[in-house]
Amino acid sequence: MATSLILIAVLVASCEAPAPADESYVGELRPIAFEANVALGDMIGTLLVRTDSSGQLYQRIVDLRLPGTYAVLIDKAQRVEPPPEFDAHHERYLQFLAEMLGIVEDLDFAVASEDFDGIAVSFVRARAAEKALAVSLPPEMCQTIAPAGSRNLCAPADPYTGYVADLDIALRRFVARYEPATQVPIAFGNVIRSRLALSLQPEVSVVIADTIEEVSALGPPGLFADPNAAVIGYLRAIQVEWDALADASTTTDPILIGVLEGRLLESYCRTITGDLATTTDLVPPEERLGEALSVWFGDTESCATRGA
């Protein structure tokens, strides 16, 4: 089993955009990607359904035959000949399939041995893998090949420019690395979710620190300076919450995850309804800053439900 769950290398296309994807290449890869995405969806869907016994879960996972599916898909994808300008992206897709094969093999083992923490880890790794793939592909491939649940992280077909383009990629990389660790479904139970949060804390802290450094180095001009500062302020606030987790005295307290999630949501809502909202409103709409920020700072519904 891989030791790192979320510090997956997010490979980004070079600044020089490739030519539009060759239709014959995309057409040949599309059914392979469709099968891979169905397999991922079946895996996630199965893990989110409560079962009466571990034996029942084992049978459901075994019936999916995920390792065999991904092994066949790797073989099929290796037979596809991409146009030269898409060689690197095709290799990245093969890397994703190989990563998923390793994840589902570990999942089968965890289910067979009734290792429920290991099952949750497999869930997180799968979500991290799909999100990292979406960030790494050019938009003309991403919207077709990436799993549907991660296509919000595809680069925009109409590229941003200047500072907004730099902020966009920084935020998409952040979401790809951070979100899988922070949105482990309640179906896994609060004891497991609390233990998982504690085990992921060192990696999450690195992700946040990396993003603070990247956003701080953007050098935002004029009206962009205050929104940039608001993003950094948010990152520092959640860094405090995650760092405090390292001092937790127990790994089995089911309350721990609820307290953490409540504080993270409080920081989030305070940001999107406060400084970030007021300073973004001062930036002309044609700059598309709000659009770029929405990849992470767009969940107003959760804050409305909370009463923020």
pLDDT tens per residue, range 95-148: 999 999 999 999 999 999 999 999 999 999 999 999 999 999 999 899 999 999
pLDDT at 207 exceeding the cut of 90: yes
How far, in Å, are 6, 60, 67 from residue 51 at the CA level? Answer: 27, 10, 22
Within the chain, what is the greatest distance between any pair of CA atoms?
A: 60
pLDDT of amino acid 284: 95
The tokens for 208 are 């946040």
Tell me which residue of 273, 14, 20, 34 sits closest to 146, measured CA to CA: 34
* Class at the top of the CATH hierarchy for domain 1-158: mainly alpha
Q: Using an 8 Å Cβ cutoff, are 41 and 72 in contact?
A: no
Question: HSE of 75 in the Cβ direction (CA atoms, 13 Å)?
Answer: 6
pLDDT of amino acid 10: 44
pLDDT at 2 exceeding the cut of 50: no
User: Hey, where are the domains in the chain?
Assistant: 1-158, 201-306
pLDDT tens per residue, range 241-279: 999 888 775 555 678 888 999 999 999 999 999 999 999
How far, in Å, are 57, 74, 104, 108, 195 from residue 62 at the CA level? Answer: 9, 20, 10, 7, 26
